[in-house]
Amino acid sequence: MVNMPRFISLEGIDGAGTTHHAKTLKSYLESIVGEGEVILTHEPWEGSGNKPTQNFLAIKQHLENDLDPYTHKENLFRYFLDNGISHNNDLIRPALENDKYLITDRHRLSLHAYQKSQGISPEEILREQERYKILMPDLTIWLDLPVPLAIERINSRGELLEKFENKEFLEKVSSQYKIIYQMSEGKMKDDFGTIIKIIKVSSSGTKEETQHQIRKAILNWAA
């Protein structure tokens, strides 16, 4: 069997297609490692119970009802961080300890890119991620998409806009992803001394083209 990354994160700005490609990737990986061996998850995480957690509901309320991307930054940072801690401890760690493969639609890099763009210091973000030992994926795939195209795709959904679906704000988020990616090319290490492995994939093309590039990135990692 091909040596596949156990823990994969898909990252990118709103409209980049992380949700679609995470779902499609799950089916592909299961065709390699076996049905039922791949867990698909996402952040923010609803929790493991029958009902969404209060934390998740608080995030959802902020995203849907407050369209200024810069307000309530401290509260949102704490909500997202606490959500990530629960996700890390209650789902991600147990899955990996049970030898499952795991794909997450957003993880550590989203917290950094979005909350740094809101005005939270990167030192505080990294310090809290280190403090709570939030795991770094074996492979992070950054779906790179120009902001004008992202806005076009978001508007084509015909749905109400959410807090961060704002052109000016997404330009800042996109810049943060670029900075992180450039640092990873220089063999940047995370807070636990692990080299961060990020592969950039353009999501400007069709869904099929992007998914092909994602699969190619995973096989290159495994080579």
**What b/e readout covers 35-68, taking b as 16+ CB neighbours within 10 angstroms?**
eeebbbbbbbbbbeeeeebebbebbeebbeeeee
User: Per-residue pLDDT for 66 more than 80?
Assistant: yes
User: Per-residue pLDDT for 95 more than 80?
Assistant: yes
CATH number for 7-222: choose from 3.60.110.10, 2.60.120.260, 3.40.190.10, 3.40.50.300.
Answer: 3.40.50.300
Q: Report the Cα 213 to chain-centroid distance in Å.
A: 17
Contact 11, 110 (CB under 8 A): yes
CA–CA dist 107, 94 (Å, integer)? 16
CA–CA dist 196, 187 (Å, integer)? 7
Instruction: Give the 3-state secondary structure of residue 45.
Output: coil
Q: Mean pLDDT across the chain, nearest whole number?
A: 92
Mean pLDDT of 86-110: 97
> Domain coordinates of the chain in residue numbers?
7-222
pLDDT value of position 188? 52
**Residue pLDDT, tens place only, 26-38:** 999 999 999 999 9
CA–CA dist 177, 4 (Å, integer)? 24
Mean pLDDT of 79-103: 97
**Residue pLDDT, tens place only, 156-195:** 999 889 999 999 999 999 999 999 898 876 455 554 445 5
Contact 196, 136 (CB under 8 A): yes
Q: Which pTM value belongs to this model?
A: 0.93
Residue 198's DSSP bridge partners are 140
